[in-house]
Chains A and B, each alone.
Chain A
Amino acid sequence: MTNPSSTRTDEDIVGDALVHKEVFALLVLRYQERLARYLRRLGVLRREDMEDILQNVFLKTYRNLNEFDRQLKFSSWIYRITHNEAMSFFRSNASRPEGHSVEDAELVLEQLHGHDDTSMQAELGLNSAQLSRSMKKLEPKYRDVIILRFFEDREYSDISDILRVPIGTVATLLSRAKVRLRKNLAHIA
Chain B
Amino acid sequence: MNEIPSQQSNASQDFALKVLDRIEEERVVPRPRWQFTMKNRLFWVLGVLSVIVGSLLAAALVFALVNAGWEYREITHHGFFGFASQILPTLWIVALLGALLLAYENFRHTSRGYRVSLIVILGLCFMVVVFGGALFYFGGAGRLIEEEVGGRIPMYRPVMMQQKMMWSRPEQGLLAGQVIEYDKVQSLLRLRGFDGNTYLLTTKDLADDSLEVLTEVGESVRVMGAFAKSTDGSNVPFFRPCYVFPWEPRHSLPKIHGIVCTGERIIQEPRSTDCKGLVPHEALQTLHFGACR
Contact = CB atoms under 8 A, between A and B. Distances in A.
Interface residues on A, range: 35 or more
Interface in B1-44: 1, 3-5, 7-8, 12-13, 15-20, 22-23, 26, 28-33, 35-36
Contacts of A66: 30-33, 35-36
Given A63-B30, A66-B31, A66-B33, A22 B1 contact: yes
B4 to A, nearest CB: 5
B185 interface: no
Interface in A1-23: 3, 5-6, 18, 21-23
B31 A58 contact: no
Given A22-B1, A26-B4, A164-B114, A59 B31 contact: no
Contact of A168 (B3, B17, B19, B117): B117
Given A5-B3, A63-B28, A63-B31, A28 B115 contact: no
Nearest to A166: B117
Contact of B3 (A26, A160, A167): A26
Interface in A94-121: none
A88 interface: no
Nearest to A60: B28
A162 B237 CA distance: 76
A62 B30 contact: yes
B22 A28 contact: no
Given A5-B3, A28-B19, A58-B19, A166 B114 contact: yes
Interface residues on B, range: 20 to 34
A37 to B, nearest CB: 13
A84 interface: no
B36 A67 contact: yes
A69 B28 contact: no
B111 interface: yes
A23 B29 CA distance: 14
A143 to B, nearest CB: 20
B159 to A, nearest CB: 40
Contact of B114 (A3, A29, A33, A160): A160
A62 B18 CA distance: 14
Interface string A25-64: 1101100110000000000000000010011001100111
A24 B111 contact: no
Nearest to A13: B3
A28 B8 CA distance: 11
Interface string B31-61: 1110110000000000000000000000000
Contact of A29 (B5, B22, B28): B5
A117 B23 CA distance: 49
A179 interface: no
A169 interface: yes
A51 to B, nearest CB: 8
B108 to A, nearest CB: 8
Contacts of A18: 30
A63 B17 CA distance: 17
22 contacts: A5-B5, A21-B20, A22-B1, A22-B3, A25-B17, A25-B19, A28-B15, A29-B13, A33-B12, A54-B15, A55-B19, A59-B19, A59-B22, A59-B26, A62-B19, A62-B28, A63-B28, A63-B29, A64-B31, A66-B36, A67-B31, A69-B111
Given A24-B23, A64-B36, A67-B36, 8 more contacts: A29-B16, A51-B15, A54-B15, A58-B19, A59-B22, A59-B23, A63-B30, A168-B117
- Nearest 10 pairs of A and B residues by beta carbon: A164-B114, A66-B33, A28-B16, A25-B16, A166-B117, A67-B36, A65-B30, A58-B19, A3-B5, A28-B19
